[in-house]
Amino acid sequence: MSLLHIAVLIPLIFALIIPFVYRLHKRLHLGWFVLPVPLVLFIYFISYIPTTMSDDAVLLEADWMPKFGMNYDLYIDGLSLLFSLLITGIGTLVVLYSISYLSRKEQLGNFYCYLLLFMGAMLGVVLSDNIIVLYLFWELTSFSSFLLISFWRENSASIYGAQKSMLVTVLGGLCLLGGLILLSIATHSTSIHEMIANADNIQTSPYFILSMVLVLIGAMTKSAQFPFYVWLPDAMEAPTPVSAYLHSATMVKAGLYLVARMTPIFAVTQGWVWAVTVVGLVTLFWASLNATKQQDLKGILAFSTVSQLGMIMAMLGIGAVSYHFEGSESQLYSAAFTAAIFHLINHATFKGALFMITGAVDHSTGTRDVKKLGGLVTVMPISFTITLITALSMAGVPPFNGFLSKESFLESVIEITHVDLYNLSSIGVLLPIVAIIGSIFTFVYSIRFIGQIFLGSYHEDKLPKKAHESSLLMLISPIILALLVIVFGLFPNLITSSIIDPAVNSISKSVSKPAEFHFFHGFTPALFSTLLIYLIGIILIFTFSYWVHLLKAQPDKLTINYWYNNSGKSVQLYSSKFTDTYVTGFTRNNLVIIFLTLIVMSAIVLIVTPVSINFKDVSNIRAFEVVIVILICVAATMMVLAHSRLFSILMASAIGYAVAVFFIYFGAPDLALTQFVIETISTALFLLCFYHLPNLNRHNETKSFKAVNMLISIGAGLVVTIIGLIAYGNRHFASIANYYKAHVHDLAHGKNMVNVILVDFRGTDTLFESSVLGIAGLGVYTMIKLRSKKNTKVEGGNNNEQTEK
């Protein structure tokens, strides 16, 4: 255990302590106790920057279940450090923000417990080197996210959203587990960095494609990619700090982290490049289109998050092309990795701030509906400034950081069309077009976001509360984030060499050239497309009321939500229908299933395997045996055909006595004795039962029912007979009976071999058979004596008298 191991566990430990603090200490807001945790961790992780800057990676091992290959190994390189800093940094700000956002009337103990649980899980995901531990933390993020979304659990929408996100992310999580297991089978290792070192083994293994698909599904569900983004807009029912933290800055980026981490393993196939890029672009396009028509501020931000995640995903896909080239050409495409990492940081800053402002506006006005809001610029000037900065950054306007990363994105998308690989040059033309259209809509909703809240006319009467500027405490975090937006925008070099470059180096194969970002780098296609985006975007904003109807005309059937809800309903419907087909409540139907299974299974085995019926061990048939067999057959037939119950019982006992005679004939006096006694007692018991039973009708006994029963019984009899004959004819070893015969007297001092076996050689069986009898006796006694009083009063007295013959 090193300090880093403890650092990952600290949030989890505090998650245990915090509820107790909450119980004991009520005067100060609980958030103040939580705040130091991410802050200290953030400072601690900053101390790793010099290590990763020199392209060193630290691997710290701790045994957990070494035989199983599940060890608590942590690996810190540029990529995981970047994510750790994001998690702890944004975590600090979110905790600070939540202090003013959540009042002390809320269940703060729960909230901070879940939040810390999530924080620890997320740190575990990005720092784990062991895939099984990674999966463990991965599921813990899903789980804690579920708890956080359903924080206001009286609200049915929260429960719905939480369930939806749980189902989707756990589906992905399980796929991921499958993929990871396949990877570990292919490499005989559970360590990620060893897998990357042995990537060749994976690429030649038969599981390569399957594991790639499964890992991708896992990453796509977590990162809300098309078509798995459905859960994210509904997760907006969570408290705003949660939305800001989980659903914009950290959890949804876990999928991106995974894609980036697995790139060195999978990037050699065109499937990976295509899947990641296309899914990312489709998500970017689809979500930005949907974001423009949302009426709820958080809805806009949710779809915007989805589209930005799609953009980062697409860049990771494009960057993977660099694995197919060498040298400088490779560096050209790995520039997309730089853009992806830079945008990842930028998105965390501006989206976090936007969510926090949304929460502040919600707190101040009591609504998040864009139709009611407007004209708040004079009321909330600070919020307006922050929104202006961050939303413009989201739209990709200079001089903010969003512009830089969007420029790099467009550059790499245009660059990709020049690649002479997998037909990218022909179909690839579509990629920049889709990206540009997506960016136009991003521009539209970002600018409208500012306008909808702060510009226009102020409707005081529509707002539930009287609007006012938020408290300073609530604004500190968004102000810090907005400052970062400006600082990263104006001085990107502050973080390029220290954070971005190490992160890119841990994704890409070759050492990439140091990242550089400029506001203006000549008249490139990227610049022209940016200008085109602004132009069309501005035109679209002014004509918004004309074309928004087109978007809203999207029929319900074409939304993924519709299919999600429908599939949820139909799964329930069809599974209950299916269950109803065989769970009928009739024992006879269950027996039909059991016997049919027996017949079919045995028949298949008999047909598939070569069997022979061998008569070599069969002795001569004697006359008296035939007589008894005929007797038994007649009695059995009469028993089945009998109309009266009494006659059936008589025939059953006739069979029993005939069997006893068999025993005598085959020289088994002990068996015969027992059989005689038992047969008599059971006949008596049958008669006793028969006497108490009401005269039940044999209902529903149609001809086809009887025919089916007959077929099944004949089948079962045939199968058992054939198996018996085969078994008899194919004995491979001599019987052990000779040993008993030889030693019954000298070892056990007995002459009756059956009895010696029962009480000496195999005495344990006898012991437990005796206990079975004891249990049966006790059971009968309890059933008779301890009937509930109610029944006894109603029926008990009558039961004895109701005799029907």
Partner 1 sequence: MNYSIIIIIALIIVSLSMLAMLIRVIKGPSLADRVVALDAMGIQLMAIIALFSIFLGTTYMIVAILLIGIIAFLGTAVFAKYMDKGKVIEHDSNNNH
Min separation Cβ 683 and partner 1, Å: 7
Tally the C-alpha atoms within 13 A of residue 254's C-alpha that lie toward its C-beta.
35
Query: Where on the chain is the footprint of partner 1 (CB under 8 A)?
Result: 624, 627, 631, 634, 638, 646, 650, 654, 657, 660-661, 664-665, 667, 669, 672-673, 676-677, 680, 683-684, 687-688, 691, 784-785, 792, 796-797, 800, 803
d(CA 393, CA 305): 13
Query: What's the min distance (Å) between Cβ of 745 and partner 1?
Result: 16
Nearer to partner 1, 210 or 627 (CB): 627
Q: How far is the CB of 757 from partner 1 (least distance, A)?
A: 16
Of 595 and 665, CB closest to partner 1? 665
Give the H or E element holding residue 792: none
Instruction: Considering the complex, state which of residue 110 and residue 682 has its C-beta at the smaller distance from partner 1.
Output: 682
In 3D space, the residue among 479, 475, 462, 442 whose CA is nearest the CA of residue 374 turns out to be 462
In whole angstroms, what is the distance from residue 173 CA to residue 312 CA? 21
Question: CB-wise, 167 or 687, nearer to partner 1?
Answer: 687
| Spatial separation of the C-alpha atoms in residues 143 and 222, rounded to whole Å | 12
Is the CB of 647 or the CB of 768 nearer to partner 1?
647
What is the Cα–Cα distance from 233 to 302, expressed in whole angstroms?
Answer: 5
User: Of 544 and 665, which CB lies nearer to partner 1 in the complex structure?
Assistant: 665
Given a contact cutoff of 8 angstroms between Cβ atoms, the answer to whether 72 and 64 are in contact is yes
CB 71 within 8 A of CB 65: yes
| Location of structure tokens 């506001």 | 519
Least distance (Å) between residue 750 CB and partner 1: 14
Q: Shortest distance, CB of residue 769 to partner 1, whole angstroms? A: 21
DSSP structure string for 514-554:
PP---S--SS-HHHHHHHHHHHHHHHHHHTHHHHHHHHHT-
Cα–Cα distance for residue pair 194/188, rounded to 1 Å: 10
Q: Is 60 exposed, middle or buried (0-12, 13-18, 19+ CB in 10 A)?
A: middle
Residue 626: its H or E element: helix 623-641
The residue among 66 and 667 lying less far from partner 1, judged by its C-beta, is 667
Cβ proximity to partner 1: between 685 and 737 the closer is 685
DSSP letter (8 states) at residue 471: P
Residue 59 DSSP SS3? strand
Closest approach of Cβ 717 to partner 1, in Å?
Answer: 23
At its nearest, how many Å lie between partner 1 and the CB of residue 761? 20
Q: Would you state the structure tokens that stand for residue 656, as one six-digit string? A: 């029993």
Taking Cα atoms as reference points, which of 243, 220, 219 lies closest to residue 304? 243
DSSP assignment of 643-665 equals SSHHHHHHHHHHHHHHHHHHHHH
Closer to partner 1 by CB, 578 or 691: give it.
Answer: 691
Residues 383 and 354 sit within 8 Å (Cβ to Cβ):
no
Q: How far is the CB of 693 from partner 1 (least distance, A)?
A: 13
Question: Shortest Cβ distance from residue 668 to partner 1 (Å)?
Answer: 9
| Least Cβ distance, residue 743 to partner 1 (angstroms) | 21
Please give the backbone phi and psi of residue 616, each rounded to the nearest 5 degrees, phi first.
-70, -30
Residue 613 has phi, psi (to 5 degrees) of: -95, 120
Q: Return the SS3 of 592.
A: helix
| C-beta closer to partner 1: residue 493 or 674 | 674
b/e per residue, 464-475, with b = 16+ CB within 10 A? Answer: eeebebbeeebb
Closest to partner 1 by CB, 417 vs 682, is: 682
Residue 328 or 800: which CB sits closer to partner 1?
A: 800
Rg (CA), the chain: 38
Minimum separation from the CB atom of position 581 to partner 1 (A): 42
Q: Do the Cβ atoms of 94 and 244 come closer than 8 Å? A: yes
Minimum CB separation of residue 612 from partner 1 in Å reads 34
